[in-house]
Amino acid sequence: MDRMPDDDLPLVVVNHDAGGASAHGRRRLFRKRFLLVLLIPLFMFTGAVLGMYFQPPGLKRFYELTGLTPGAGSASPIALPPDIEIPRDMVETMRATDVVGLARLMPEGDVSIVAAPYGAGDARIAEILVAVGDRVEKGAPVAHLDNADVLESAVLLAEANLAVKDAALAQTVAAVRNSRDETQALLDQALSAEAEAKANRARTEELFARAVASRATLDAAAAAELQATAAVRKTEATLARYTSVALDEQPDVIVAARNRDAAEAELARAKRDLARAAVVAPITGTILDIHATPGERPPAEGIMEMGFTDRMTAEAEIWQDRIGQVAPGQPVELVATALGRTFQGKVQSIGLTVGRQGLVSDDTAANTDARVVRVIVALDPAVSEAASRYVNLEVIARIDTGAGAGTKVSAGAEASP
């Protein structure tokens, strides 16, 4: 058997240079993946810290559903409520114990709505008597409605009806008095007739005894006496109806008096209805805004707004996890970023309920469903006049809870004067 030449054998050529390069690439890829795995915890930690500070909407929703609070293990949570941009000047003077929240300026007792009187119906506004900025006293008219003429006519009709009932009462009293006097006169006449009949019967009996008068004459005299006595009893019974009670308590007089009272009540009701033609101020204060003009129907939100701006206050919304640090009497700084100035005051009272946040910052990522407690801040008299020009202005309230000015009391307590 002949051997094949070496050139014809099927040899496999191995490239050692190419195989070494492939193994080196695989080792390099493995090192990169290992480094990436080591960086994942670092990225997660960094993201968690940033999430606690900035709280994107998704994370906030997660906190709401789970009830968790960022930084709950510390006295000062990392996420400062509410999400507001604090002015630099305030940040520089803030201390760790300060509580910050959004607030609005308002008159003492808040803004009062001046509405149309109850039962005004379809009445329109006829005249506005005040202007924005006017000061009015409680009960003073601020507008007139166009139903005044109709209501005045009802008052005139009620007055005429009352006059008729007065005349009827006087007529009834006079009639009862005259009837009583007439009955008394009839009784006197009956008594006189009875006395005469008794005397005539006595004379007739004497004449009959002397046989001067007949029996028939005696019987006639006796019958006349009985008739006279019966007439007296009848008249006495009639007179007793008028003399048993006082004149004002006579049935006819009572009926006439009650009719007169009903007419008087109708007149009083008509006058009260006439008062509905005027819109009056519910409090003493300043007109803040007017929502209607003459000729319009009174709007549902009220004709105008007014408030007692002599003493201004602020309503601050403090997050529920910070309200425990707030007490009446603590000093408060109110920063109006729109005006570039501050107002000073003190905590006056703390609300008794936890509600939803009503004041929201301009940040689109701000939490709009926070649970807050409303705190009333009384402004100092020195700044109250300046603040009265900016009712409902949004400000930032900073409560100095570490000043020691207030005494810790239960929520809802009033600050002592």
Residue-wise pLDDT for 374-407, tens only, equals: 999 999 998 888 888 889 999 999 998 875 544 4
Return per-residue pLDDT of the chain as tens, 417 residues: 445 454 554 544 444 444 555 555 566 655 666 666 667 777 777 776 666 666 666 666 666 665 555 554 444 443 344 455 666 666 656 665 688 889 999 999 889 999 888 877 788 899 999 999 999 999 999 999 988 888 889 999 999 999 999 999 999 888 888 888 888 888 888 888 888 888 888 888 888 888 888 888 888 888 888 988 898 888 888 887 777 777 878 888 889 999 999 999 999 999 988 888 889 999 999 999 999 999 888 888 889 999 999 999 999 999 888 888 899 999 999 998 888 888 999 999 998 988 887 765 545 445 556 789 999 999 999 888 888 888 999 999 999 887 554 444 333 333 333
Distance (Å, whole) CA 70 – CA 79: 6
The pLDDT tens digits for 169-218 are: 999 888 888 888 888 888 888 888 888 888 888 888 888 888 888 888 88
* pLDDT value of residue 405: 46
Q: Which amino acid is at 383?
A: V
Task: Yes or no: say if 198 and 225 are a contact pair by the CB < 8 Å rule.
Answer: yes
Distance (Å, whole) CA 251 – CA 258: 11
Reduce the DSSP state of residue 408 to 3 states and report it. coil
Distance (Å, whole) CA 204 – CA 218: 6
Which DSSP state fits 112?
A: E
* pLDDT value of residue 9: 47
Give which of 325, 318, 321, 334 is closest to 378, Cα–Cα.
Answer: 334
Where does 115-214 show beta strands of DSSP type E?
125-128, 135-136, 141-145
* pLDDT value of residue 155: 92
- Helix axis angle, 215-243 relative to 148-209, nearest 10°? 160
Task: Yes or no: say if 105 and 359 are a contact pair by the CB < 8 Å rule.
Answer: no
Residues facing 372 on adjacent strands: 319, 355
Task: Yes or no: say if 130 and 286 are a contact pair by the CB < 8 Å rule.
Answer: no
Total count of residues recorded for the chain: 417
Give which of 60, 65, 92 is closest to 79, Cα–Cα.
Answer: 60
* pLDDT value of residue 355: 83
Give 224's contacts (C-beta < 8 A, 6+ positions apart). Answer: 197, 200, 201
Distance (Å, whole) CA 38 – CA 56: 26
Task: Yes or no: say if 365 and 65 are a contact pair by the CB < 8 Å rule.
Answer: no
Tokens 């006295």 correspond to 75
* pLDDT value of residue 68: 55
H/E element, 362: none
CA distance from start to end of the chain: 128
